[in-house]
Structure 1
Amino acid sequence: MSIASSPGAKLFIIYTGGTIGMAFDDATGTLVPMGFREIKYHIPELAKLGYEFDMHAFNPPMDSSNMSPEIWIELANIIYTHYANYDGFIILHGSDTMAFTASALSFMLENLAKPVILTGSQLPIGEIRTDAKENIITTMEIAAAKKNGKARVPEVCIYFDYDLFRGNRTKKYNTETFEAFNSFNYPSLAEAGIDIKYNDQFILDYPREPFQINTRLNVNIAVLKMFPGITPHAVNAVLQTPQLKAVILETFGNGNTITAPWFIDCLKKTIDEGIIVLDRTQCDGGSVELGRYETSAYLKDAGVISGHDMTFEAAVTKLMYLLAQGYPVEKVKQLLEISLKGELTEK
């Protein structure tokens, strides 16, 4: 879609920080945050887009490694406050935890009818070969795009290096190339070349209910990553975490683990205590298939829940979201295996 096809679009930009707004400090030899004025200085093309845009800048800008559920709640509230006055929202964000933020917002922003697109860069905006300019400019075009008077992409997304991905299907997988993100189990929503090609069949349907936010989150979860030689002490250290409500069990292949009696007994004891155990594969691509092999049939019998093909980031944030809604444990388990915001492929 060309720039001219969205005249008068009004966008809201939220600048949280990250590499995209960093500059090299000669005195310290480190990268330090710039303000949004400096970002606009480095991208004079913004004035040529023909869009109106306002912004909210975090002060001071934050490194995305310090991202937290409290900031996700703040972002959701900012979007809610300005929702009626803008056609789309752009979040400039550090890449390291961008997929966590995108996943969290996908659940917290209910009945979203406008684009909320996160982007950033691998090189600071002041670098000659920076990827920041293209990422910001194309993100603005997509956020402004409409079809038949409605937002072209009414969901939370990540745009990076010519691809637009569903936010809760995306993960950062590379620190050394401009192609930092990928969506291994779901196609891209749009591809930016000479034109922007939208893959409409993969984009969420326009909602029928009014927009609202749900900012309740419960962070009492833990992660147990399997490896050959894992000990009972290591397993129990995770499963006996105080106030624990749920565990993400990161397994091998299609969802397989060791079948040692002590391990299965530990899981059964944990589940009997009302703690949810969600199985997701350590592999980037593919899905958990509980019961396909003997080494996962034990898990299914013990009451472990399948994470299907969810990313780690989606599993973490979906659990935080569901655990905070006051549902009975069985209801949470049921919803974990259902696609709420396109985060998994139901079997």
Structure 2
Amino acid sequence: MKYKIVNINDTGVRSVLIIYTGGTFGMIQDASGSLAPFNFGKVVDRVPELRQLDIKLTVISFPKPIDSSNIGIQDWKDMSYIIEENYAQYDAFVILHGTDTMAYSASMLSYMLEGLNKPIIFTGAQMPIGSIRSDARENLIAALEIASAHNNGNPIISEVCVYFNYLLLRGSRSQKLRSSTFAAFESENYPVLAEAGIEIEFNYAALKPHDENAQLNVINNLDANVTILKIFPGITEHSVKSILSDPQIKGVVLESFGSGNTMNFDWFIDCLIKAIEGGKIILNVSQCIGGEVEQGRYETSKKLNEIGVLSGGDITTEAAVTKMMFLLGSVEDVNEVKKKLTYSLAGEMDMMEE
């Protein structure tokens, strides 16, 4: 794949590589009034403030901008490849990405970039950069400032994050909750990492500690044979069976009610048992935005423990789906996959690390 590379600022103490994948951020209106991608190498024409930052800036663009609704495994591999190839040359990376699937991408890269000790900041916009009221400029400038922030020579951020609307969130904890306001993202089960006001206030207690001896190891063996089973009142046996009986599916994220509860109908439990006996891994996550799965707390979830459904604790659906893809692709032993699903790999869940 041929990437477009443009240097937009050659002076500065820190160096940041901006990776432009596509999304609303880089759209402008064409002659007909329709939104179309523009040459992102000329971003400084739209955001002249970039020249005022004391940061060496380079933009690398995907050959063809991707609508984030079309993001998939190969795109995650491409992002990780760019980071791996340029890791020694730059102090930090900012990834411009469509908002719809940003939480999925941020979660996946959190797993793929093992040993990361530099900032990877995802950001984007709800309104195109060509719009007068666009949030693109503020999001980009603040993301760059955060990415280049350092303390005693070390970066303050050493993990994958999402920056949006004045808030910095852990990537593997983020979720897009709104489509009609600038406050699109939240992290209900983990504190905000930083807040950009007049000054950028970092929540040091919530940050991943910097490890200057860590060595980046990119793991890009992923398996897409994962699905979501979201239960709801009135769901039929036929619907559940059609999902759980698919021979290609290896992992199922079960979106349950409240703190991990499901219906305890015999046919439903039997479907789960047959799927597990057939080799499928089932991970229980809550449909609620905040809170966590507590299997066994109520009678309706007690049976799930007994039959081998795994508890996802307070993990998000986005982090759960990508974690399954990551582990099923990179870990051969099924029992090891199950074990790793229940503890934190990249700060995605509030459970003991191995």
What interval of TM-score do these two structures reach, taking the shorter chain for normalisation? over 0.9
Offset at 1:39?
2.4
Do the aligned partners of 2:120 and 2:159 also contact (CA within 8 Å) in 1?
Answer: yes
2:256 maps to amino acid:
T
Query: Where does the alignment leave 5 or more consecutive residues of structure 2 unmatched?
Result: 1-10
Deviations 1:267-310 (A, max 9, x none): 01111111100000000000000000000001111100001111
Residue 114 of structure 1 aligns with which residue? 118
Matched residue of 1:23: which SS? strand
Cα offset, 1:26, TM superposition = 4.1
The answer to whether the 8 A contact 2:23-2:68 is kept is yes
CA deviations 1:48-104 (Å, max 9, x no partner) are 102111111112211111101100001001000000011100001110111111000
2:50 paired with 1:46: yes
What is the rounded CA distance, in whole Å, between the counterparts of 2:44 and 2:66 in structure 1? 18
Whichever residue aligns with residue 192 of structure 1, its letter is A
Alignment of 1:1-347 (within 5 A): 8-27=13-32, 29-207=33-211, 208-346=213-351
Question: What is the alpha-carbon distance in structure 2 between the residues aligned to residue 330 and residue 113 of structure 1?
Answer: 29
> Does the CA contact (< 8 Å) of 1:39 and 1:125 recur in 2?
no
Deviations 1:294-327 (A, max 9, x none): 0000111110000111111100110011111233
Q: Distance in 2 between matches of 1:82 and 1:52?
A: 14
Structure 2 residue identity aligned to 1:214: I
Q: How far apart are 1:242 and its partner, in Å?
A: 2.6
How far, CA to CA, are the matches of 2:195 and 2:240 in structure 1? Answer: 43
CA–CA separation in structure 2 for the residues paired with 1:105 and 1:7: 27
CA distance in 2, matches of 1:91, 1:209: 22
Counterpart amino acid of residue 63 in structure 1: D
Q: Name 2:6's counterpart in structure 1.
A: none
Partner of 2:3: none
Amino acid in structure 2 at the alignment position of 1:109: L
Cα pair 1:15 1:36 within 8 Å, conserved: yes
Query: For residues 321 and 34 of structure 2, what CA distance do their matches in structure 1 show?
Result: 32
| Residue pair 1:102, 1:158 contacting (<8 A) in 2 also | yes
Q: Residue type of the partner of 2:226?
A: I
Deviation string, structure 1 residues 17-56 (Cα, Å, up to 9, x no partner): 11110112342x4311111134221100000102111111
Root-mean-square deviation (CA), in Å? 1.2
Q: Secondary structure at the match of 2:66?
A: coil
Q: Aligned partner of 1:322: which letter? A: L
Counterpart residue identity of residue 107, structure 2 = S
**Percent sequence identity over aligned pairs:** 49
Moved over 6 A (4+): none
State the AA in 1 paired with 2:139.
Answer: N
User: Contact (CA 8 Å) 1:245, 1:276: kept in 2 or not?
Assistant: yes
In the other structure, the counterpart of 2:4 is none
SS at match of 2:330: coil
Q: Choose 38-47 or 260-269, whichever is displaced more.
A: 38-47
Aligned mates of 1:16, 1:210 — CA distance in 2: 25
Q: Is the 8 A contact 1:185 1:286 kept in 2?
A: yes
Q: Is the 8 A contact 1:13 1:54 kept in 2?
A: yes
Q: 1:7 Cα shift?
A: 5.0
Query: Which amino acid in the other structure matches residue 218 of structure 1?
Result: D
SS of the residue 2:29 aligns to: strand
Counterparts of 1:141 and 1:190 in 2: how far apart (Å)?
12
Alignment gaps of 5+ in structure 1: 1-5
SS at match of 1:85: coil
Query: 2:331·2:337 contact (CA, 8 Å) conserved in 1?
Result: no
